[in-house]
Amino acid sequence: MVEHRMVDVNGIRLHIAEEGEGPLVVLLHGFPESWHSWHRQFAPLAAAGFRVVAPDQRGYGRSEHPDDVDAYSILHLVGDVVGLIRALGEEKAYVVGHDWGAPVAWHTALLRPDMVLGVAGLSVPPPFRGPEPPLVAMGRRFGGRFYWNYFNRPGVADAEFAADTRTALRKFICWASGEAPRAVEQPLVDPEVGWLATMPDPGTLPEWFTEDDLDALTESFSGGFTGALNWYRNLDRNWELTAPWDGAVVTPPSLYVYGDRDVVPAFPGTPELIARLPALMPGLRREPLKLAGCGHWTQQERPAEVNAAFIEFLTAVA
């Protein structure tokens, strides 16, 4: 059974879900998600002999939502993982992340390899710092219409998504799923219209995402979207803060999994990076695992394949 509690971590309180006994596996969700995005991973990983813990990360769900935008930098987020591992009575853990959770997992392995037994990322590949701040780069490339730039308009996306939270989340899930009837293209937004206005709403959820799943996700955003969006508002600051690690690579044992219908691996420069990962990543234990027909919600869309890959990876490096 999955159990829930609050823990004090890195100066804030985080809500966590946990199950199982054995080596600790920390599962980090992305946007717009919560701990619940991992609910299909708990039982299989626990049965394989692991202690599985998934927090609502800061700014999400029942965890604290600091008001200060600066409280959502990558150093704060990695600090939460480090603090969580220690609050759970451990010195080391396997760290796994999806979407925004993947950069947190990768950076935890990059900055604190002494605490990471192994690291896995879904959708977002390992971090290789670009030559200029990401918001500047994307703003120039797409004339300010890339969704990261839209999210950085204070209060705008916050209000758009909170006006009808359930519909906003349903649209996001359907639009980014592997079943969506769309080309895999860059997510561009007309800032004068907003994102949801042009995002189709099929009304019918994918088979792998139930109304109960949508209920749980909607409830987790009852406090609004600002905390979650503040992660994006630190993208350029993260680029500045990580300057000391420019050129550094993730060294712990690692795994990367993505879907071929996920928009994130199609971001500019990302396909070329994925192709080079085996040469760039000394700890990569296998070629990047590409799931045919899978969209952005990797562990939810393909739980059997993802769980099998996780268990194979975790037990091999145990």
**Catalytic site includes residue 70:** no
Give residues with Cβ within 8 angstroms of 286, minimum separation 6.
255, 313
C-alpha to C-alpha distance for 233 and 250, rounded to whole angstroms: 24
**Catalytic site includes residue 215:** no
C-alpha to C-alpha distance for 79 and 86, rounded to whole angstroms: 11
Sign of the CA dihedral with 226 first, then 229, 230, and 233 last = negative
Instruction: Determine which one of 29, 39, 107, 296 is catalytic.
Output: 296
Coil vs helix vs strand at 191: coil
**29-180-306 Cα angle (round to 5):** 40
**Own/partner pairs for 69-72, CB < 8 Å, 24+ apart?**
69/230, 69/233, 69/234, 70/234, 70/237, 71/230, 72/227, 72/230, 72/231, 72/233, 72/234
Where helices occur in the chain by DSSP H, the ranges are 42-47, 74-87, 101-111, 134-142, 147-151, 156-162, 165-175, 211-220, 226-232, 235-241, 270-280, 298-301, 303-317
First to last CA, the chain: 24
Question: How far lies 195's CA from each of 168, 174, 200, 314, in Å?
Answer: 10, 14, 10, 38
Give residues with Cβ within 8 angstroms of 141, minimum separation 6.
268
Instruction: Determine which one of 56, 99, 213, 262 is catalytic.
Output: 99
Q: Which residues are catalytic?
A: 99, 296
